[in-house]
Amino acid sequence: MTASFAPALAAARDAAAAQHYPQPGLYVVATPIGNLADITLRALHVLQLVDAVACEDTRHTQALLRAYGIDKPTLAVHQHNEAEAAQEVVRRLQSGQRIAYASDAGTPGVSDPGARLVAAARAAGCVVVPVPGVSSVTAIVSAGGAGGDGQGFVFHGFLPTKAGERQQAVESLRQESRPIVLLEAPHRIAAVAQALAVLGEREVTIGRELTKQFEEIATVPCSGLTAWVQGSPQRLRGEFALLLHGTPVVADEAAPRRVLQLLLAELPVKTAVKLASEITGAPRNGLYEAALAMKDDA
Residue 250 φ then ψ, to 5°: -85, 120
Question: Which of 203, 223, 244 represents a domain boundary (last residue)?
Answer: 244
Calculate ∠ Cα 47-118-21, nearest 5°. 40
Which position has the higher pLDDT, 212 or 257?
212
Question: Which of 134, 161, 181 represents a domain boundary (last residue)?
Answer: 134
Question: Which of 102, 134, 166 represents a domain boundary (last residue)?
Answer: 134
Which position has the higher pLDDT, 3 or 15?
15
How confident is the model at residue 246, as a pLDDT? Answer: 87
Q: Which amino acid is at 238?
A: G
| DSSP letters for 179-234 | -EEEEE-GGGHHHHHHHHGGGTT-EEEEEESTTSTT-EEEEEEGGGHHHHHTT-GG
Out of 176-180, 193-197, 240-244, pick the least confident.
Answer: 176-180
How confident is the model at residue 33, as a pLDDT? Answer: 94
How confident is the model at residue 226, as a pLDDT? Answer: 96
Contact partners, residue 252, CB within 8 Å, separation at least 6: none
How confident is the model at residue 294, as a pLDDT? Answer: 85
Where in the sequence is the domain holding 279, given as residue range(s)? 255-297
Whether 125 is covered by a domain: the verdict is yes
State pLDDT tens for residues 44-70: 999 999 999 999 999 999 999 999 999
Q: How confident is the model at residue 240 (pLDDT cuts 50, 70, 90)?
A: very high
Which position has the higher pLDDT, 83 or 220?
220
Residue 252: left (phi > 0), alpha (psi -120 to 50), or beta?
Answer: beta
The reply to whether 149 and 127 lie within a common domain is: no
**Rounded to whole angstroms, how far apart are CA atoms 174 and 5?**
46
pLDDT above 90 for 257:
no
How confident is the model at residue 4, as a pLDDT? Answer: 84
Whether 249 is covered by a domain: the verdict is no
The reply to whether 21 and 109 lie within a common domain is: yes
Verdict on whether the full-model pTM lies above 0.85? no
Average pLDDT of the chain to the nearest whole number: 91
**Rounded to whole angstroms, how far apart are CA atoms 240 and 111?**
13
The reply to whether 155 and 126 lie within a common domain is: no
Whether 105 is covered by a domain: the verdict is yes
Pairing state between β 240-244 and 180-184: antiparallel
How confident is the model at residue 252, as a pLDDT? Answer: 63
Which position has the higher pLDDT, 145 or 205?
205
Number of domains the chain is built from: 3
The reply to whether 232 and 260 lie within a common domain is: no
The reply to whether 195 and 182 lie within a common domain is: yes
